[in-house]
Amino acid sequence: MDEFSLQDRVVVITGGAGRLGTRFAQAVLRHGGRVCLLDPGFTNSERVSDRELRLSVDITDPGQVKEAAEEIRRNMAPVFGLINNACLQPEGFFRPMEQYSLETWRKVMAVNLDGLFLCSQVFGGDMAKRGEGSVVNISSIYGMNGPDFSLYEDLSFNTPPSYAASKAAVLGLTRYLAAYWGSCGVRVNAITPGGVQDGQLEIFVNRYSKRTPLGRMAEKHEMDGAAIFLLSDASSYVTGHNLAVDGGWSAW
Ligand SMILES: NC(=O)c1ccc[n+]([C@@H]2O[C@H](COP(=O)([O-])OP(=O)(O)OC[C@H]3O[C@@H](n4cnc5c(N)ncnc54)[C@H](O)[C@@H]3O)[C@@H](O)[C@H]2O)c1
């Protein structure tokens, strides 16, 4: 038996059109699974193959999440896994604390936290009824640790309060749901990615790398193993855990 196999298991991935979402989808497919990607970034909903469904869905809208669940039931099979991966950086995202607008704060919370809550409720709730499943929530190092602001000195971006607060809440909800659904056979875990290299300014990459025990930022594919581990039977006795894939960022 290959304990990392996801053979024919349906995995829903929110933010499935984004940088890590597309990687997670490829990884699930490589391990034999089927994917359903939810993202308003898809202009149309389409069935790419019998193993991949792309739905243009806004996860902050409860009606759209429920409709997506119906569509998946009709077109695929019961959902086994959920990767809550979507995030949003709306207008005003990088403003300093003193000027941060409540509107921007709420938009971030709506996707990073409310959307995760709604998808967990709908898909996780179905898993609990069926007595099996795995939910993987994507947090961030800034949900675990306060930012080192010297990394962002003289740069036009930073880590804003809405991001840190939403990602810390993701870890709290992960532990809550692990306890809540443990007796129903549904496991709930988190992945805490470190910064992923993606064309950032060299000065930032250098500062970040110095601050990290492994001396570099992550490559996109380096989150895949953690996701497959947590979705598959390889982690059958793991729940309520936060797996930091951060090059050691949180170790010192
Ligand atoms: N990239 C990194 O360096 C990094 C580091 C730590 C944590 N993370 C986390 O990893 C996850 C993925 O990050 P990424 O870099 O791939 O981000 P990304 O911006 O590339 O992808 C996010 C996706 O979420 C989608 N989205 C936004 N609003 C949505 C909504 N209402 N409904 C459904 N989908 C919506 C976007 O359209 C986008 O495709 C996020 O949760 C992020 O916080 C990323």
**Domain, as residue range, for 120:** 10-251
What's the gap in Å between 160 CA and the centre of ligand 1?
A: 15
Helix H or strand E encompassing 180: helix 161-181
Q: Ligand 1, atom 23: nearest CA belongs to which residue?
A: 15
Is 141 within a domain? yes
How far apart CA 243 and CA 164 sit, in angstroms, is 17
Quick one: what percent of the chain has pLDDT higher than 70? 100
Predicted confidence (pLDDT) at residue 1 exceeds the cutoff of 70: no
* pLDDT tens track for 122-178: 999 999 999 999 999 999 999 999 999 999 999 999 999 999 999 999 999 999 999
Amino acid at 217: M
Position in ligand 1 atom list of the atom nearest CA 41? 37
Is 5 within a domain? no
Residue listed under structure tokens 């996707």: 111
For residue 155 the two structure tokens come to 């740069």
What's the gap in Å between 229 CA and the centre of ligand 1?
A: 20
Is 3 within a domain? no
How far apart CA 136 and CA 114 sit, in angstroms, is 15
**Predicted local confidence at residue 50, as pLDDT:** 94
Task: Give helix then strand counts, H and E, for the chain.
Answer: 9, 8
What's 247's domain CATH number? 3.40.50.720
Is 161 within a domain? yes
* pLDDT tens track for 72-97: 999 999 999 999 999 999 999 999 99
Q: Is 15 in the pocket of ligand 1 (CB under 6 A)?
A: yes
Position in ligand 1 atom list of the atom nearest CA 163? 43
152 is catalytic: no
As for how many domains the chain has, the answer is 1
- Exactly one of 163, 176, 180, 237 is catalytic; name it: 163
Is 209 within a domain? yes
Is 2 within a domain? no
